[in-house]
Structure 1
Amino acid sequence: MTENPTEHHVISTRDEYLDAVAALEGGVGPIGIDAERASGFTYSQRAYLIQIYRRDAGTFLFDPPAIGDFSELNAALADAVWILHAASQDLACLREVGLDPVRIFDTELAARLLGMPRVGLGTVVEELLGIHLAKEHSAANWSTRPLPEAWLVYAALDVELLPDLFDKMVPMLAESQKTELAEQEFQAVLAKEAKPPRTDPWRKLSGLHSLRGQRNLAVARELWLARDALAQQLDVAPGRLVPDASLVAAARVGPSNKQALANLREFSGRATRTEIDRWWNAISTGLTTSNLPDARVNGDTLPPPRAWAERNPDADLRYKAARTAIATLSEALAIPTENILTPDFLRRVCWAPPAGEDAESIAATLSELGARPWQIEATAQLIADAFVDARQTTPDEVDPAS
């Protein structure tokens, strides 16, 4: 634990950073590491605080914007296991500053594989260590400077307990014969590539589905692009400048002039009046452009399963049979269904199964989709058997509630 729990120091100078690197390199065992961002407050997803704890070294709180590059620390800790909770949430911002682990232990994933009903850090700590961990600062604006002492206490405790969780969970995984499963899951998190940027990111506007017509969509697109450019320039979360609902309302009405836009009751937000010229220029562009967006985008997204019975009855039967088989396996292994097999993988193999629909071809398809070896071994034959059952079932025999 921290030597003085009532006073936490944030490391922000090069000399302090190098001293911390030396201390952590001389520590013992795995490290507990966490990062705090300012999601919902800033445009960037960078880390604004990085906490690390290692036994015989202590707890260190780093200011990433001030330090910049952490390559020396990464080299010093290359041989250690890095313990994180929900690693997929933090790896990108850690890698951004040069912290790229070789081996991880994800306590959230471990909790899922162990069948714990709730896997939040506070719940897992309380159940396994008997310690109540307050989470009141998890959604704070960590770009704040200076950081309040109460926030630093919270941040330090998050990592100081991770090695103790590790000590509890490693034998639990071994006893339940899930060590190899966990290793494959941890490696998959490390190896997962970042999603490519969306082709039309403006289409993620909340409420966009309520707009009718390509011209309205063009106005929404131009408003989104204008807001995104300003948000990036100011490093402010876009929704804090102008809410999605305001952009969609303006796109729906299509005001005829700047004053009409300013008078639009639904067009509100901290930047609606100060940047009125920006928004009006965006609307004008949307109202006059010849580059009109398609009303619908054809992607590789499958229709929702509730529509399968009408659109692809055979796929519907396959999916319901396979999902039931996976649910049974989930109970037997005490692992959530979504961790036994990614739901999208199951839907895809059911919607368009490989030729033959046998276990070998299903295994190959699951592998191409990204399923782990243990998942394929556990589910390929199960799915193939479910497909056989589905071929022998008529739609009238399927429970509508399933």
Structure 2
Amino acid sequence: MPPPTTVGQDAEVPDQPAVIPLTEPAEGVPPVVDTPEALAAVVEAFRSGTGPVAVDAERASGYRYGQRTYLVQLRRAGAGTALVDPVPLPDLGALSSALTGVEWVLHAASQDLPGLVEQNMRPDAVFDTELAARLLGMERVGLAAVVAEVLGLGLAKEHSAVDWSTRPLPGEWLRYAALDVEVLLELRAELGRRLEEAGKAEWARQEFEAVRTAQPAPPRVDPWRRISGLHTLRDARRVAVARELWLLRDAEARRRDLSPGRVLPDAAIVAAAAALPTSLEQLVALRPFSGKATRRKAEQWFSAVQRALGLPDAALPSVRGPRGDGPPPPRSWADRDPAAAARLTAAREVITGLAEEHAVPVENLLQPDLLRRVCWSPPHPTDAASVHEALLTGGARPWQADLVAAPLAAAFADAAAA
């Protein structure tokens, strides 16, 4: 047996591709477009441009209420880069019309499109570089990571989580924003080529269209149940306190246009619900309520606690919350329906194997929720054609159903035989 290779003077070390940092946009940082006259000029420039258009949007998540867009960046051959401020220009429909029939290139389009729709910007076609990276089996799919791997360029992301509602926007932030769209068109070209080579171009087209045409999510039932740590509250009275505090916080956050967590952290809500304070003094003695800003509003928060404490038992919310229309948690399947549990185990093995074979993440090969639904309530008969139809009805893309229907049907048959 040859001796192990060690890294030393004579050892060969594979060359690591150098990453070239991007520090300045090719044409410099353009001025912010914040007047109707400047927007009209941008509209004409982008109407006259050629090829796809790179689009990005910046929000103020963690700072402001909701997911409003505070900057729109675009770049197109022949038009250059534009940074548009949607605060004084909330209707960008003219810009969208100038791009009719043009492919929009975005990274993680599902995050940006809802906010862009609020500005009346709706694409006719989309290329999502994040989804493309997922379908190509890349381990890291953030924009900076994909740009480094595919183009060998270093894209700094230190301003990704800043407060984009700040006005005026600092020059460094605008430079960052311009660079984000600087690379998208080149990235789209290379990822498109790789998808063609991998035989996944049609898969990508279907995924991109699903993102483009996705309908807004319906309002959540009992959105307050998303409080972090709510599961630690074991009785209805404490859950009621958490609900009242959440409702008051949400109204206050909306009124002040602040992120709810900046008005009152989830940890404070759960602490008050767990303690059930019966006096203002007991509330402010809790550590999450000891800060100056929280103490200043202590009477307001205590009023919510009092409302919950005064509710009759019949008005208390359930501890667990209403059941959705989906199957129960898989951990209970073995007791409730052993056959369904066997189908799920077999199906997961099949999907994992196919994902590895085709170098696609499991969740992109087939949505986990859809897999659970089909395993819990399979079609009858459970042949390939019936499974294929059930997957399409459940929201799978044709390429997904084509790839997994027959193996799933075989897995169901094996589980039934076992």
Cα distance in structure 1, aligned partners of 2:119 and 2:332: 45
Q: Which moved more, 1:181-190 or 1:260-269?
A: 260-269
**Structure 1 residue 369, shift from structure 2 partner:** 1.2
Equivalent of 1:125 in 131, 143, 147: 147
Matched residue, 2:3: none
Alignment of 1:16-31 (within 5 A): 16-31=38-53
Unaligned ranges ≥5, structure 1: 394-402
**Structure 1 residue 217, shift from structure 2 partner:** 1.2
The change in CA–CA distance for 1:145 and 1:347 in structure 2 (over 3 A counts) is same
Alignment of 1:128-143 (within 5 A): 128-143=150-165
Unaligned ranges ≥5, structure 2: 1-23
**Structure 1 residue 285, shift from structure 2 partner:** 0.9
Equivalent of 2:251 in 214, 229, 237: 229
Alignment of 1:125-274 (within 5 A): 125-268=147-290, 271-274=293-296
Letter in 2 for 1:125: V
Matched residue, 2:338: 313
Letter in 1 for 2:93: S
- Give the conservation status (yes or no) of the 8 Å contact 1:3–1:58: no
**Structure 1 residue 212, shift from structure 2 partner:** 2.2
**Structure 1 residue 300, shift from structure 2 partner:** 2.7
**Structure 1 residue 3, shift from structure 2 partner:** 5.8
- Give the conservation status (yes or no) of the 8 Å contact 2:30–2:81: no
* 1:365 counterpart = 2:365: no
Matched residue, 1:398: none
Equivalent of 1:72 in 90, 94, 114: 94
Please give the TM-score of this superposition, normalised by the length of structure 1: 0.94
Letter in 2 for 1:292: L
- The CA RMSD over aligned residues, in Å, is 1.6
Letter in 1 for 2:320: R
**Structure 1 residue 4, shift from structure 2 partner:** 4.3
Cα distance in structure 2, aligned partners of 1:3 and 1:194: 36
Please give the TM-score of this superposition, normalised by the length of structure 2: 0.90
Cα distance in structure 1, aligned partners of 2:118 and 2:218: 16
Equivalent of 1:275 in 297, 306, 313: 297
Cα distance in structure 2, aligned partners of 1:169 and 1:299: 38
The change in CA–CA distance for 1:382 and 1:99 in structure 2 (over 3 A counts) is same
Report SS of the residue matched to 2:381: coil
Matched residue, 2:136: 114
Cα distance in structure 2, aligned partners of 1:276 and 1:346: 47
**Structure 1 residue 254, shift from structure 2 partner:** 1.4
Cα distance in structure 1, aligned partners of 2:292 and 2:396: 45
Matched residue, 2:319: 295
Letter in 2 for 1:86: A
- Give the conservation status (yes or no) of the 8 Å contact 1:242–1:271: no
* 1:42 counterpart = 2:42: no
- Give the conservation status (yes or no) of the 8 Å contact 2:289–2:295: no
**Structure 1 residue 312, shift from structure 2 partner:** 2.7
**Structure 1 residue 263, shift from structure 2 partner:** 2.4
Letter in 1 for 2:403: A
The change in CA–CA distance for 1:250 and 1:146 in structure 2 (over 3 A counts) is same
Equivalent of 2:354 in 319, 329, 342: 329
The change in CA–CA distance for 1:372 and 1:269 in structure 2 (over 3 A counts) is farther
Report SS of the residue matched to 1:65: coil
- Give the conservation status (yes or no) of the 8 Å contact 1:32–1:54: yes
- Give the conservation status (yes or no) of the 8 Å contact 1:137–1:151: yes
Q: Deviations over 1:97-128 (max 9, x none)?
A: 11011100001111111122221111111111
Report SS of the residue matched to 1:132: strand
Letter in 2 for 1:295: V
Report SS of the residue matched to 1:30: strand
* 1:84 counterpart = 2:109: no
* 1:390 counterpart = 2:412: no
Matched residue, 2:122: 100
**Structure 1 residue 336, shift from structure 2 partner:** 1.5
**Structure 1 residue 311, shift from structure 2 partner:** 3.4
- Give the conservation status (yes or no) of the 8 Å contact 1:242–1:268: no
- Give the conservation status (yes or no) of the 8 Å contact 2:289–2:298: no
**Structure 1 residue 260, shift from structure 2 partner:** 2.2
Matched residue, 2:400: 375
Equivalent of 2:372 in 347, 353, 368: 347
Letter in 1 for 2:400: Q
**Structure 1 residue 88, shift from structure 2 partner:** 0.3
Letter in 2 for 1:317: A
Cα distance in structure 1, aligned partners of 2:58 and 2:292: 25
The change in CA–CA distance for 1:4 and 1:172 in structure 2 (over 3 A counts) is closer
Report SS of the residue matched to 1:158: helix
Letter in 1 for 2:176: Y
**Structure 1 residue 331, shift from structure 2 partner:** 2.1
Letter in 1 for 2:362: T
Matched residue, 1:60: 82
